[in-house]
């Protein structure tokens, strides 16, 4: 069994996204991907540390104030 990397998962999701557009135009793809991956990553780490924001910020490599801002931004 081969292990798929994160890049492969993102590539597959983007392929599906563009197929689902069915010929319609798209814009803001970078922002969409960035926001979705950032919010999913933050939520995952927060869940792993039982919502301990200090520990989550340490694991994510960001300061706690930035984490609090992003939690609010993404309604996590």
User: So where are the chain's domains?
Assistant: 28-76
Decide yes or no: CATH 3.90.470.20 for domain 28-76. no
Tell me the average pLDDT of the chain.
94
The closest alpha carbon to 9, from 67, 24, 52, 17, belongs to: 17
Q: What angle do CA 53, 70, 7 make, to 5 degrees?
A: 100
- In this prediction the pTM is 0.82
Over residues 3-36, the pLDDT tens digits come to: 789 899 999 999 999 999 988 999 999 999 999 9
CB atoms < 10 A from the CB of 29, how many?
Answer: 11
The closest alpha carbon to 18, from 5, 36, 33, belongs to: 33
């Amino acid at each position: 069994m081969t292990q798929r990397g994160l890049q492969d998962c993102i590539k597959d999701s983007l392929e599906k996204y563009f197929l689902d557009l069915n010929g319609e135009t798209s814009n803001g793809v970078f922002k969409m991907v960035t926001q979705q991956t950032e919010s999913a990553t933050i939520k995952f780490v927060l869940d792993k540390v039982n919502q301990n924001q200090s520990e989550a910020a340490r694991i994510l490599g960001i300061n706690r104030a930035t984490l609090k801002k992003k939690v609010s931004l993404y309604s996590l």
